[in-house]
Structure 1
Amino acid sequence: MSSIKIINSIKLDSKGVRVKDANGKYILLHKRQGDMDGACAVYSLAMAMLCIGVITNEDLQVYANPDRRTCKGKFLSHFLEEQGLVRRGYSFISMAREIRESSFNLDAIRKNPKEDDDIINAIADFIDKESPVIISTDFKEGAHALLAVGYEITDDSDKITKILCLDPGEEAPKYSCWNCIIDVSHKNEKSEYPYVCITRTQAYRVTLGDILMIKKAE
């Protein structure tokens, strides 16, 4: 038998995967590349901020004009206007530093464990604390950022078998809280890319990289 853990802020109903935004209104969570202009890490950051209820859906609209006189406006302008398109990928080191240095009431914790098991366990630990996790994956053709919102675990051995994610490069999920699975149940020790990333449109081998947890500052 297997069990699934999903962060509590997410709600799945007939309208899709939704969370309460900063106004207490239930809105669709998934943001797909093309909905806003920007790189996958910025989309994942936007979904993480929706999950923890610090921004509204209106804040993310294409023609929204952030009020740079406010802390939130400065933050959104930096990430959605100045840093929206990052051709070579967004460094999690830079993103974490910029989040912590902003005057918007957010904190970022970046981890880069050397061992795969430590990365997987760190992702699960954050999810157990009801925190979505921005994760990076590398594959033969490049790299990609996703938002981890849950995991699957076997009841008999407590082994984490799958990381459940929202992929900004894929369509919004209709009948689950995720649209992407990273299968970590079997590790190919002979491959540079030991795990399999599975979406509706493709399956490809990946390795896990940096992870970034976003939370309200204490």
Structure 2
Amino acid sequence: MHIIEPLSVVHFSPYNPELSMHLRQGDLDGACSLYAVVTALILLGKVDLFEVKYGHRFDGRTRFGKLLSWWNRSDLLLREGQEIHVVEHALHSSYGKELSVELQNFCHLDPKFLIDTLKSNAPILLAYTAVENFAHMTCAVGFCETDSSVDILCLDPSFASPVLCCWNEVIRIPKAKRTLARSFASGHKLQTISAIALKRFNSSDPLSLAS
């Protein structure tokens, strides 16, 4: 075995031992919203997972192609990423005839809205800002409720893929007022949370992975 110098076996940067050399989505870009949206569309059967991973070109005349064209025109490599109302507009423009796109902002966001949406087997795009001057978007795929809080289970592109479960991030939303929500994967305390619920108009249609 040989590992190039000056990289160490523990994968830490030789120039800053506190930082990992493993770069992930979010380290250089603000594309978290794109990853979250595509994850949700795959779960809704509107996008083919194999094509997303291994396809080289997407037809710009299709709904997904139009959505990607919009993202290609935006500045994803800027750390600011995309605000949730802009993502809502892009989804309305591309998938508005096939999907219900419902935005709930942080002023009115109720955990019941999240619970009811997830119970209907609809994914949620969850956007938040943190106390530490950090903003992010992820895809919520489930929940776990207790007497004191609601844990929103997410598939997040910024963290390692899940191995033994279907999620790799938990957003804990306390039921007590004036208590900040928290991201377990990053440790951030969240100031604001907004959500976009994506639902098929005909909820009785079986889910598929083909568009």
Identify whether the pair has TM-score above 0.5, normalized to the shorter chain.
yes
Counterpart CA distance in 2 for 1:73 and 1:101 is 12
Counterparts of 2:155 and 2:122, CA distance in 1: 14
What is residue 169 of structure 2 aligned with on the other side? 180
**Which residue of structure 1 aligns with residue 53 of structure 2?**
61
Cα separation, partners in 2 of 1:78 and 1:197, compared to 1, 3 Å: same
Q: CA deviation at 1:45?
A: 0.3
Q: Alignment partner for residue 164 of structure 1, among 144, 147, 153?
A: 153
**Number of equivalences:** 174
2:189 to 187, 202, 205: 205
CA shift for structure 1 position 38: 5.9
Find the partner of 1:135 among 118, 126, 129: 126
Using the size of structure 2 for normalisation, the TM-score is 0.70
Distance 1:177 1:76, change over 3 A: same
State whether residues 149 and 175 of structure 2, in contact with CA within 8 Å, keep that contact through their aligned partners in structure 1: no
- Larger mean CA deviation between 207-216 and 60-69 belongs to 60-69
The match for 1:90 is 82
Cα distance, 1:137 vs. partner? 1.3
Bigger Cα displacement from structure 2, 84-93 vs 48-57: 84-93
Corresponding position of 1:70: 62
**Structure-2 separation of matches of 1:127 and 1:174:** 22
- Where does the alignment leave 5 or more consecutive residues of structure 2 unmatched? 1-23, 203-211
User: Residues 149 and 68 of structure 1: is their aligned pair in 2 closer, same or farther, counting only changes over 3 Å?
Assistant: same
Report the Cα distance in structure 2 between the residues aligned to 1:106 and 1:59, rounded to whole angstroms.
21
In the other structure, the counterpart of 2:115 is 124
Q: Does 1:215 align with 2:206?
A: no
TM-score of the aligned structures, taking structure 1 as reference length: 0.68
Alpha-carbon separation, structure 1, partners of 2:110 and 2:184: 19
CA deviations on 1:4-46 (whole Å, 9 max, x unpaired) are xxxxxxxxxxxxxxxxxxxxxxxxxxxx728xx8611111001
Report the CA distance shift for 1:89/1:187 in structure 2 as closer, same or farther (over 3 A): farther
Computed over aligned residues only, the root mean square deviation of the Cα atoms, in angstroms, reads 2.7
Cα distance in 1 for residues equivalent to 2:183 and 2:143 = 14
CA contact 2:139–2:155 (8 Å) conserved in 1: yes
**% identical aligned pairs:** 24
Which has the greater radius of gyration? 2
The whole-number CA distance in structure 2 between the counterparts of 1:84 and 1:215 is 28
